[in-house]
Structure 1
Amino acid sequence: MAALSFQNLSRSFGDIRALDGVSADIPEGSFLALLGPSGCGKTTLLRLIAGLDRPDGGSLHIGETLVAGPEQFIGPEARGLGMVFQSYALWPHMTVAGNVAFGLNRLGRADRATRVERALHTVGLSDMAGRRPHELSGGQRQRVALARALAARPRVLLLDEPLANLDAHLRQQMLAEFRRIHAETGCTMVFVTHDQNEAMAVADLIGVMDRGQLMQLGSPQDLFQRPANEMVARFVGHGRTLPVTVVLRGTRRCRFMIGGCTFTLPGIAPPGPAWLCLHPSDLTLSTNKSGLVARVTDLRFEDGYQVAHLWLEDLPEAAPLVLRLDHPLVLGAEVRVTVRGGWVLPRAAVSTPSFQTVPA
């Protein structure tokens, strides 16, 4: 059963179309990341799920319950959701246990204490129940906010860029905590972020959004290896797209020409103009005189690798390709590169969102 279901959801603010006909079904128990550039509509969609805003059109179901539609709207307090905010939103005068217990007044004292104890145990803060928020680190305060949401046993847990205020080391720790807690609780989670590394690290399902539309919904591997259109190809994994010409299409493979060279790679493009979607791992330096002629335009050291930007002489209008190497090149040098991987898309795919995973 779907934990969340959107049908043609739309929301405008004046002349700005924040959401433009978003449709998707999110399976029960999923860890969904909503990913995209600033202003793409991901936070607007999260607010509609939470009941903090109303859609202009379409419908939204949580489980089998219609919570927003043309003649129906259920407020946030009756949706059975939990939410973790970017700012933590903790009461400074309350203890950790008091913050977690906030909102559980409908329970008896014994049941409330049990819920608090279990929630704090889940996030690893059992020994800090008596502390105040100012006595905690940023990562610990984030865990308190998470424990408070989990204590209410929500049907769906919403995470609104919860790691934005943490340093890089704490973000990695909290990503591991999110993965562990999701596996332990089985709760459906919706995680909003503009950081694709965060999304790839925690989510089993990612929705890439752009200009109010859901461009593709799929696993991290699907989005990386089989992007549905040019926007997804360029956004996920810092990919590049090159214009190519497909000369022959087989079963899930395409033979194409680029810069006078012919390659055969996985793809779904018919003969004619197409896009070749590439990541740095799809390129390698040629050891002979074959391959595409390129010039080194930039060099930097990153994560233990030499990262080179390469300008293709046969495609001067294309963005520079990125190549990761274990040895340095010379700035300005002419090299040849071979394409050993990638995904070939029809050229028209740039304007056609895909709401489902591209089949393998």
Structure 2
Amino acid sequence: MADIKFDKLLRQFGQTKAVDHVSAELGSGRFVALLGPSGCGKTTLLRLIAGLERPDSGTITLGEELVAGPGHFVGPEKRRLGMVFQSYALWPHMTVAGNIAFGLNQLPRVERDARVSDALRMVGMSAMADRKPHALSGGQRQRVALARSLAAQPRILLLDEPLANLDAHLRQSMLAEFRRIHAATGCMMVFVTHDQNEAMAVADTVGVMDRGRLEQLAAPMELFDRPASPMVARFVGHGRTLPVQVAQRDTDGNCHIRIGDVPVVVPGLVARGPAWLCVHARDLVIGSEGIAATVASVRFEDGYHVAELLLDALPEADTLPVRLDSPAKQGEAIRVRLRGGWVLPRGGAAHPKADVAMSADRHREPA
């Protein structure tokens, strides 16, 4: 078993801080997902763990071993890590078994064959050991790439967007495989993805990154219920942040606010003053005594009727539409009741619409 520790980790490319003084500890045996928009630094952080990038400052510790720090660097070949890439990187002229055995040439033949056999069985590919990669489907090739990493018995397995080339059905199948293999091996896994549904489906711990910073490291449910920053609130679950004023915070940790003429009590961290009210579609329900709103648009998505609402008490320029998973008519005036949410201090946080613009114009991470 091994854990991963970062201390003030920095990696720059020119003036861009791809990883910006990140400090964190990822517990041994965990399935960790690094999540965020393109260019947020998640792939660079994974490459730093792997030893494919050298940090400009800060330290990385794997288990009890310092692998990167001032005047000290352990190469990737000595870190005992496995890595599965977005591309399968299989040798086309070798069989499935040959691809898996390729990195095990230093082992005795009997041990090498045993590891190949165990890895094939673990990913359900024993019957295809003699096939060549061109005779496999995309999902099967990804299983071979996974088996190749597992056969090396790594202390940590790194997964760099391994499902990006698969269709939706195969992605779900491979997510189930990752969960099963993690449970069977206990090997720590770090999974990079920009797809939050993938991250929430497999990981017990999710790190949300933005512009090189680790915004929050927590269990999936906590990211929804108690986002640590406005960025997390807006990014996870298509949440929205509404500008409000907190009148008071009671002894139970609830914030008393008003939206228009409706008093609302929501848990949060703000004692008094300007704040963000963080809400998801699940936090709103149609109710006659609720907050006045206008239906801006409607659509049918993933089996649900979805309405985008503008709250009448908030100028359109101050907020993005709030999602409501309920049938409605475009242009209809309705009222919605708040049955959940979370309040964060507003401080100098960016305007809600800024994150949308930045996600479209964000720098690309180095390969």
CA distance in 2, matches of 1:218, 1:318: 27
| Aligned mates of 1:151, 1:222 — CA distance in 2 | 34
Match in the other structure for 2:122: 122
Who is 2:82 aligned against? 82
CA contact (8 A) 2:2 2:155 kept: no
Structure 2 counterpart of 1:175, one-letter code? L
Q: Any residues of structure 2 matched to 1:14-29 within 5 Å, and which?
A: 14-29=14-29
Q: Which structure 2 segments of 5+ residues have no match?
A: 351-367
**Counterpart residue number, 2:328:** 329
Q: Which residue identity does 1:254 align to in structure 2?
A: C
Structure 1 residues 167-193: Cα deviation after superposition (integer angstroms, max 9, x where no partner): 000000000000000000000000000
List per-residue Cα deviations over 1:40-88 (Å, max 9, x = no partner). Answer: 0001101110001100000001111010001100100000000001001
Q: Is 2:222 aligned against 1:222?
A: yes
- Give the aligned residue type for 1:295: T
SS in 1 for 2:104: coil
Match of 1:45 in 2: 45
Question: In the alignment, which residue of structure 1 is the partner of 2:62?
Answer: 62
Specify the SS of the correspondent of 1:102. helix
What is the match of residue 356 of structure 1? none
Displacement of 1:349 after TM fit? 7.9
TM-score (norm. length: structure 1): 0.95
Q: CA deviation at 1:311?
A: 1.0
Give 1:103-142 correspondences, 5 Å limit: 103-142=103-142
Q: 1:136-285, aligned counterparts within 5 Å?
A: 136-250=136-250, 251-285=252-286
What secondary structure is seen at the aligned counterpart in 2 of 1:311? strand
The runs of at least 4 consecutive aligned structure 1 residues that moved more than 4 Å come to none
Shift of 1:252: 2.3
User: Is the contact between residue 230 and residue 349 of structure 1 (CA under 8 Å) also seen in structure 2?
Assistant: no
- How many Å separate the matches in 1 of 2:344 and 2:70? 38
The CA distance in 2 between the partners of 1:228 and 1:259, in whole Å, is 26
Which deviations, in whole Å up to 9, do the C-alpha atoms of 1:95-148 show, x marking residues without a partner? 000001111011100100000000000000010000000100000000000000
Aligned residues: 347
Alignment RMSD? 1.1
TM-score under structure 2 length normalisation: 0.93
Aligned to 1:358: none
**Aligned AA (1:87):** S
What SS class does the counterpart of residue 325 from structure 2 fall into? strand
CA distance in 2 between partners of 1:259 and 1:102 (Å): 66
Partner of 1:343 in structure 2? 342
TM-fit CA distance, 1:303? 1.9
Q: Which amino acid aligns with 2:256?
A: R
Cα distance in 2, alignment partners of residues 183 and 170 from structure 1: 20
* SS in structure 2 of the partner of residue 153 of structure 1: coil
Q: Tell me, what secondary structure is at the counterpart of 2:23?
A: strand
Identical aligned pairs, as a percentage?
65
